[in-house]
Amino acid sequence: MTGKKIPARNLISIILIGLMVVLLTECKEITIEEQNIYSDSLSDNPNLSGLSNRIIKQLGEDLVTADLSVHQATIIQQGALQEVDTQDLSDSDNIVLIAPAVMKGAQQAIGSSQADTLILDEKLRVIEIILKCVTKLLPHEVTQNALIKLGTNRNTANSSSLLRNTKETVYQQIYSSLAEVVIQNLDEAGIGVADAVSATQTLICSLISTLSTAGVEESMVTEVIKLIIKNAVSSLDEGGVEPADLGDGIRSIIIGTLQGLQSCGMNQEDLMALDGILTTGSIEGMFNGGVLAEEGDYYAELITLVVLEAFETQGVSEETLSLMEDYLIGVAAMALETAFLTLKEGSSIWGQMMWGIGKWG
């Protein structure tokens, strides 16, 4: 029996396809082998134990799953491990201290000479992965931390209320620290001055969006949000945001906060109820960040305008915005008064607050 001859062109195509299959198979085997080596090296690391061990090992797995190379994932893990060790937390189970330590070390490692081959969007994606990883265990770990803080009080008649209040405090401590670390280390992550403001909006949105999965209850959100905003604003300068861009930095934090809350399923009515918190948190953070007392009225006006603009983009009516404006002028006045008293720069600035009336009509 005679068979048809395969044309030379088709034969070459078949051979090339066969070679590609072999190469792809070999690459896959190498990847699996690298991952096994990577996993073994983690298991054998004597510095990894307890809570930090679980978080850092999980971080490596999450990074590799997100298509980072084993090499890149290991560098980021090593950065987290080094920071945990520097803060003497290797054997600790205190999530309040470990979460920001892992975040700081991992984020700084992104900008190291060995890992700094990622473009901006990739760096932001990696930081988001780190944030999700360090907050993934919070529902369990916050409860455990709160129970330890309560001690024998956990068995009292009002133990349920005490536990909830203690958990709220723990969440406040963790999220305020994470906000500070994320913004302070923008430049260390290799994010330049030109991109600092836009990166701030993206990362604050990412941080806020973890609240629902981290176990933060609805009744806890308000104060947690305020502290996130306060610490983020106060950290803008250290993160590489230029003084001339401070207003834009604050705007990015406010908008990022609203976007993050929307991703958690918060509706417009609930968002509007946070207008005072957005204003107060920003003003308090502004002073903590080193803004001079004589600049307070300028930035308070700016912050109030930014909050109103943010809600305008949400489709809030002009009539409602006008009512919000009157309310926020009073909120800003009180926040400035408190800040000035704290700084001992003066006893009253109520007269200075008339700048806001009628300026946004």
CA 335 to CA 343: how far, in whole Å?
12
User: Does the residue 168 lie in any domain?
Assistant: no
CA 80 to CA 181: how far, in whole Å?
13
Alpha-carbon dihedral sign for residues 266, 267, 272, 273: negative
How many domains is the chain partitioned into structurally?
1
User: Does the residue 60 lie in any domain?
Assistant: no
User: Does the residue 343 lie in any domain?
Assistant: yes
Q: Could you list the residue range(s) of the whole structural domain that residue 298 is in?
A: 291-361
Walk along the chain (361 residues) and give the pLDDT tens digit of each residue.
455 555 555 555 555 445 444 444 444 343 444 444 444 445 455 545 589 999 999 999 999 999 999 999 999 999 999 999 999 999 999 999 999 999 999 999 999 866 557 899 999 999 999 999 999 999 999 999 999 988 866 666 567 889 999 999 999 999 999 999 999 999 999 999 999 999 999 999 999 999 999 999 999 999 999 999 999 999 999 999 998 899 999 999 999 999 999 999 999 999 999 999 999 999 999 988 878 778 888 989 999 999 999 999 889 999 999 999 999 999 999 998 887 777 654 433 433 443 343 333 3
User: Does the residue 339 lie in any domain?
Assistant: yes
Residue 161 exposed, middle or buried by CB count within 10 Å (0-12, 13-18, 19+): exposed
User: Does the residue 348 lie in any domain?
Assistant: yes
Determine contact, residues 261/315, Cβ cutoff 8 Å. Answer: no
Query: Given phi > 0 = left and psi -120 to 50 = alpha, else beta, which region is 31?
Result: alpha
CA 203 to CA 210: how far, in whole Å?
11
Determine contact, residues 201/252, Cβ cutoff 8 Å. Answer: yes
User: Does the residue 268 lie in any domain?
Assistant: no
DSSP state of 206: H
DSSP state of 229: H
User: Does the residue 96 lie in any domain?
Assistant: no
Determine if the pTM surpasses 0.75: yes
Determine contact, residues 191/244, Cβ cutoff 8 Å. Answer: no
Instruction: Report pLDDT for 8.
Output: 53
CA 240 to CA 252: how far, in whole Å?
14
User: Does the residue 156 lie in any domain?
Assistant: no
Q: Which residues contact 59 (CB under 8 A, 6 or more apart)?
A: 73, 76, 77, 80, 102, 106, 129, 130, 133, 134
Taking CB atoms within 8 Å and a gap of at least 24, the contacts of 212-220 are 212/264, 212/265, 213/132, 213/135, 213/136, 214/135, 214/136, 214/138, 214/139, 214/142, 214/171, 215/138, 215/139, 215/142, 215/143, 215/171, 216/171, 216/175, 217/164, 217/168, 219/168, 220/167, 220/168, 220/171
CA 207 to CA 124: how far, in whole Å?
12
